[in-house]
Amino acid sequence: MTKVLECSNCGYRTFYKKKHCLECGGQEWNKQEPGVGELLAITTVHVSPEGVREPNRLGIARFEGANLVAQIRKGLNPGDNVKLDDSNILREGDNGTHVGAQFAPVDD
Ligand SMILES: [Zn+2]
């Protein structure tokens, strides 16, 4: 989930896969680089599913036209500029290792 999906008809953007565009009903999506986002808010989850880090710091960031919730690196605070790192291990368990996006400092 490190690319933003942009409706090829109207330009609506989302990180979350959808069958139809919420604005125009279009069904064709172009994958775009999200660029730099702004971290809006953070929270810490202290009880996580098995294999997920604890405490699990999560944030919501606003990118051009779309917001995303993801794990965040240590030291990030609301207002910081972030990029998406797609090499983050989200969970390790019986079904293998799940890699996903994490917010990282822009200058990392
Ligand atoms: Zn659309």
Q: Please tell me the distance from the alpha carbon of residue 97 to that of residue 60, in angstroms, as a whole number.
A: 23
Over 39-83, what HEC string results? EEEEEEECCCCCCECCCEEEEEEEECCEEEEEEECCCCCCCCEEE
What's residue 1's pLDDT? Answer: 65
Q: Give the environment of ion ligand 1: residues with CB less than 5 A.
A: 7, 9-10, 12, 21, 23-24, 26
* Sheet order of strands, 4-7 included: 13-14, 4-7, 29-32
How many whole angstroms from 69 Cα to the centroid of ligand 1?
22
Structural contact between residues 69 and 41, judged by C-beta atoms closer than 8 angstroms:
no
How many whole angstroms from 22 Cα to the centroid of ligand 1?
7
Q: What is the pTM of this model?
A: 0.86
Instruction: Give the residue among 100, 65, 68 at the shortest CA–CA distance from 82.
Output: 68
Q: What is the pLDDT of residues 41-83, one digit of tens each?
A: 999 999 998 888 899 999 999 999 999 999 999 999 999 999 9
How many whole angstroms from 58 Cα to the centroid of ligand 1?
29
